[in-house]
Amino acid sequence: MGMMQEFKEFAVKGNVMDLAVGVIIGGAFGKIVESVVGDLIMPVVGAIFGKLDFSSLFIVLGQAPAGNAMTLDAMKKAGVPVFAYGNFITVAVNFAILAFIIFMMVKQINRLKRNTPPAPAAPAVVAEDVLLLREIRDSLKK
């Protein structure tokens, strides 16, 4: 079997397609969570802790040029190395919220699976030779 044929079989398997759909939906869901954290949660957290904007917290690791504004964007544009720990805090909060939401979704799906009655079992297919042996056995009993 050629490599292209193997790749085609791999690419059209149900699991690969499910994974692709999951990645696409996960990317879109990540954007939603990023917006929730950045636009809803972090402003509230910042207001509680003194009107901080976590994404702009940083420590300058190099020599800041004179006359430049001391903002994260200005330092990055000037090529000054910065330790942007505020951005890390925002990303960590994003991850924690996303992990919690995924946990709750999986928990609910598992609960629904437990409450769903099992599908009736399909009747077992009996081989022809077994059927013949049973007929012979039943005729010998008579």
- What's domain 3-141's architecture? Orthogonal Bundle (1.10)
Are 60 and 80 a contacting pair, CB within 8 Å?
Answer: yes
**The pLDDT value given to residue 80:** 87
**The pLDDT value given to residue 51:** 60
The whole-model pTM stands at 0.51
**The pLDDT value given to residue 61:** 87
Gyration radius of the chain's alpha carbons: 30
Q: What's the rounded Cα separation, in Å, for the pair 97 and 107? A: 15
pLDDT tens per residue, range 63-122: 878 877 888 888 888 888 989 888 888 778 778 877 887 788 889 888 888 877 767 777
Residues making up the chain, counted from first to last:
142
**The pLDDT value given to residue 1:** 62
**The pLDDT value given to residue 23:** 87
Predicted confidence band at 130 (pLDDT cuts at 50, 70, 90)? confident
Tokens of 46: 């910042």
pLDDT tens per residue, range 13-57: 767 777 888 888 888 887 887 788 778 877 787 778 776 667 778
H, E, C per residue of 112-130: HHHHCCCCCCCCCCCCHHH
Q: What's the rounded Cα separation, in Å, for the pair 134 and 142? A: 13
The domain locations on the chain are 3-141
